Amino acid sequence: MDKIHIFDTTLRDGEQSPGASLNIKEKIEIAKQLERLNVDVIEAGFPIASPGDFEAVSLIAKKVKQPTICALARSLKKDIDAAAGALKGAKKKRIHVFLATSKIHMEYKLKKAEDEILKQAVKAVKYARKFSDDVEFSPEDASRTEREFLFKIIAEVINAGAGVINIPDTVGYTVPEEFSDLITQIKINVPNIDDAIISVHCHDDLGLSCANSLSAVKAGARQVECTINGIGERAGSAPLEEIVMAIKTRADFYKFKTSVKTKELYKSSRLVSLLMGIPLPPNKAVIGDNAFSHESGIHQDGVLKMPGTYEIMNPSDVGFKESKLVLGKHSGRHAFGRKLEELGVELGKREFQRAYEEFIALADKKKEVFDDDIVALVEDEMKEVPKVWELVYFHTVTGSSTIPTATVKLKKDKKIYEDAACGDGPIDACYNTIDRIIGIEPKLLNYNLRAVTSGRDALGEVTVRLKHNNKEIVGRGTSTDIVEASTKAYLNAVNKIVS
């Protein structure tokens, strides 16, 4: 099988994402993870852009030895000098030279004619070869360049010493059939094209970066330039994880392979997302939180019987631990039963049916039902919990220089009980007061607060897990006031204990 070289440009094109910025330490951390991912080339930066970029490329070149370290340069002597200087410590290095070749770029940006562009490109490649045997050339905006001129400049820069020719769809304008034809025509019309590797770099302005890249691979490209999570200019670049897993999953169709260690994809994705401050959408292909999650009852039943029914990739292949069955209103009895087994709950047929009906009613109100919800639901179903103690009133006093205090009023058998206590905070103070009134002191094992809805008036749901006399009890409470929700949850659990 032919190998497809993976050229990662997360640290160069990816860092150009609006709002994304990395310090030198973070760039080195990502570069080391890319080395563990086993990409072939790391484009570490654009050294002429700033002293910080120069230093980052220089340090990565010294610290990361397995992949080829690449530095970007315009077709200018000062840029190439900066790239060469930053790459001095690299075990394997590449200088990536680019120059715009489309009519719109030549006329409005560079204000140069075709012959001037041709001479500048050839001169730049020859100069870069003085510092490295590995030189890549990119005719910027190649997908919108006049084809005859594109064929001519590619042939000339290969003669000048370029070993990699990158064909960028700089503005994400092309479509798969058109891009595939472009690669085919380059192979037919550039006489010395076999002396170089064809690379592609596609942007996602029309959502076609991955499809365009893969169509180019099928047509003869042997290097794909991409980024972790598809970050990059504007709408981003071709996502590395999608390119790699498409080639691996559909090896029957592409008949290619990469050297990427796919089990490092999830870790790489989360690291880049964290350091760049760009969150991943849950439905992100391959590495999104929902990529291996199933809520539909039909899908869950199929996955439980045979994962291949609804999963074309093994979750562990990309670094996930396992598939996730999300319990919601679309879940079926099979998935609900499996969750009860995981929680160690055994129910008879009648109890199970009642619990399942309660679960569906709850799922209609919530986007996702969690383990503690299931435990509380099943406990409530197995025995009706009487309201021995009812909350009548609570009042808290707290502040940065005030000892948190709570006054709580409870009702039992039509009789009112009231007391007050202090705590580490208003919620702890409420719990201490309830303990004083009721006369028991259960141990709080777990406290969980989450928003059920959105906005400033969001409904908060609190789940607590208490331990009393070696038995664990779950309590729940909801309110737009988190202190009230917390108090209700605690009292709910306490009622289960005293009943």
Query: Rounded distance, CA 210 to CA 240, Å?
Result: 9
Give the CATH H-level superfamily of domain 2-276: Aldolase class I (3.20.20.70)
134-138, 266-270, 354-358, 380-384 — which is least confidently predicted? 380-384
Q: At what angle do helices 24-37 and 51-63 cross, to 10 degrees?
A: 40
3-state SS assignment for residue 404: strand
Handedness of CA 214, 216, 219, 223 (dihedral sign): negative
Task: Read off the tokens for 342.
Answer: 């995981």
Q: How high does pLDDT run on average in the chain?
A: 89
Q: At what angle do helices 209-219 and 176-189 cross, to 10 degrees?
A: 30
Pairing of strands 5-8, 223-226: parallel
pLDDT at residue 343, as a whole number: 64
pLDDT at residue 499, as a whole number: 76
For the segment 58-72, the average pLDDT, to the nearest whole number, is: 97
Among 418, 413, 421, 406, which residue's Cα sits nearest to residue 389? 413
pLDDT at residue 291, as a whole number: 65
pLDDT at residue 364, as a whole number: 75
pLDDT > 90? residue 311: no
Strand-pair partners of 418: 409
End-to-end C-alpha distance for the chain, whole angstroms: 69
pLDDT band at 297 (very low <50, low <70, confident <90, very high): low
Give the CATH H-level superfamily of domain 390-498: Alpha-isopropylmalate synthase LeuA, regulatory domain (3.30.160.270)
pLDDT at residue 480, as a whole number: 76
Confidence (pTM): 0.70
pLDDT at residue 298, as a whole number: 59
Query: Rounded distance, CA 47 to CA 72, Å?
Result: 7
Strand-pair partners of 417: 410
Ordered by start, the domain boundaries in the chain are 2-276, 306-378, 390-498
Residue that the structure tokens 């709080």 belong to: 444
Question: For residues 207, 213, 218 and 219, what is the CA-based torsion angle, rounded to 10 degrees?
Answer: 110
pLDDT at residue 266, as a whole number: 87
pLDDT band at 310 (very low <50, low <70, confident <90, very high): low
Sequence-distant (6+) residues with CB within 8 A of 384 are none
User: Does the fold of domain 390-498 match that of domain 2-276?
Assistant: no
pLDDT tens, position by position, 376-391: 566 545 545 567 999 9
pLDDT > 70? residue 293: no
